[in-house]
């Protein structure tokens, strides 16, 4: 009966009970079903905030992340199943398995409309990076490419919730930092970073009133920068190669801590700049959550220390793996996550919870 009522529309007008009471009923009836729902515009009930059990870890993945484009993906030199390979490496190392991994739901059109326009929801975005795909029927684009991306977007949103509960969360996918609420680009059809933060600001406003994005992908994160141009509660630290795509001058206005690099920047210089600018950023701004868009172009065993800083300062952190599609990328991502575990910076046990404060 509760399910019927939840599907029926606006809880506040259709129910003699409070929404909180109904959600408690739902939890009692579905203790192990794992779905916590949130109602927003037009009575839509999202199923993206999934509850995980105590034996599960806040590493988010499911097999639907992977892209298979009837062989056309081979026309581009990237690993379209890198997410499966990352999971397999972590599984082989004993960190996670099919029972303990956190499995997200697919972001629906209604979920995407929290920030996207109907057009910008990316139901048919241009896939210009692989020209032959422009001639593929839309239903194949939907099922073979966009559906996996919607699962990854759901994974980023779920990771935000899990980070609040466990102190950290890692989405093996996501990090579509070139997509804004009304425009995709650079293999990024959905604005998952914007969605992650907006879900938290809207539905976890008791715990999250501000957020920091630390974008260390080699490319400028122009998508989320366009979305948070006039948002004082979102601080963006972006460190990127200014000589490569996208060179978005307008988006730079949203960056509160901008570090532009050039080709052939050496490791020592790079790490020094990360450390110094991260400390200064956290001195200027005190976020309730930190979104770490890692990028595997520069990621090496989390030498960057973001997870350590987050743990020390008790700032929940969400890590998204973002770009990097070479065959070696999956191994780099997996090794980085395993290194975090070995250093004790992530743990299967709950570290801290803003929900309990």
Active site residues: 178
| Residue keyed to tokens 């997509």 | 179
| 307: number of Cβ within 10 Å | 24
Q: Of 26, 58, 34, whose CA–CA distance to 353 is shortest?
A: 58
Q: Could you tell me the two tokens for 269? A: 């210089």
Name the pairing type of β-strands 38-40 and 44-46. antiparallel
Write down the number of H helices and E strands in the chain. Answer: 12, 9
Cis peptide before 246 (omega within 30 of 0): yes
What is the C-alpha to C-alpha distance for residues 278 and 273, in angstroms, rounded to an integer? 8
Alpha-carbon distances, residue 88 vs 18, 94, 96, 101, 331 (angstroms):
44, 10, 9, 12, 10
Q: Could you tell me the two tokens for 144? A: 């073979």
The DSSP symbol for 77 reads: S
Check: CB of residue 241 under 8 Å from CB of residue 218.
yes
The DSSP symbol for 65 reads: G
Q: Could you tell me the two tokens for 192? A: 């998952």
Check: CB of residue 200 under 8 Å from CB of residue 211.
yes
What is the C-alpha to C-alpha distance for residues 124 and 210, in angstroms, rounded to an integer? 32
Check: CB of residue 157 under 8 Å from CB of residue 114.
no
Q: Of 46, 173, 174, whose CA–CA distance to 113 is shortest?
A: 46
Which 3 state secondary structure label does DSSP give 135? helix
**φ, ψ at 317 (rounded to 5°):** -130, 135
**φ, ψ at 61 (rounded to 5°):** -170, 150
């Amino acid at each position: 009966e509760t399910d019927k009522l939840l599907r029926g529309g606006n809880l506040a007008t259709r129910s003699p009970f409070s929404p909180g009471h109904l959600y408690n009923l739902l939890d009692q009836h579905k203790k192990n079903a794992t779905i916590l729902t949130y109602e927003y515009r037009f009575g839509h009930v999202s199923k993206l905030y999934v509850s995980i059990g105590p034996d599960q870890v806040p590493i988010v993945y499911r097999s639907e992340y992977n892209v298979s484009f009837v062989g056309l993906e081979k026309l581009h030199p990237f690993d379209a199943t890198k997410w499966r390979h990352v999971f397999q490496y972590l599984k082989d190392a004993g960190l996670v398995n099919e029972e303990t991994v956190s499995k997200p739901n697919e972001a629906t059109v209604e979920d995407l409309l929290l920030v996207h326009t109907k057009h910008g929801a990316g139901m048919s975005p241009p896939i210009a990076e692989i020209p032959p795909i422009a001639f593929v029927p839309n239903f194949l684009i939907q099922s073979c490419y966009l559906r996996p991306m919607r699962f990854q977007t759901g994974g980023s949103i779920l990771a935000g919730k899990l980070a609040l509960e466990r102190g950290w969360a890692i989405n093996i996918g996501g990090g579509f930092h070139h997509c804004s609420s009304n425009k995709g680009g650079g293999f990024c059809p959905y604005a998952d970073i914007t969605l992650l933060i907006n879900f938290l600001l809207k539905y976890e406003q008791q715990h999250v009133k501000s957020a920091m994005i630390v974008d260390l992908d080699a490319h400028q994160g122009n998508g989320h920068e366009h979305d948070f141009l006039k948002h004082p509660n979102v601080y963006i630290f972006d460190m990127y190669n200014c000589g490569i795509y996208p060179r978005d001058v307008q988006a730079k206005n949203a960056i509160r801590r901008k570090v532009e690099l050039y080709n052939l920047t050496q490791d020592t210089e790079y790490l020094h700049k990360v450390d110094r600018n991260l400390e200064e950023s956290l001195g200027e701004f005190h976020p309730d959550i930190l979104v770490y868009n890692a990028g595997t172009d520069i990621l090496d065993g989390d030498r960057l220390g973001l997870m350590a800083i987050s743990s020390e300062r008790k700032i929940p952190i969400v890590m998204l793996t973002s770009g990097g599609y070479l065959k070696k990328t999956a191994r780099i991502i997996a090794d980085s996550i395993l290194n975090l575990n070995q250093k004790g910076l992530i743990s299967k046990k709950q570290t801290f919870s803003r929900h309990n404060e």
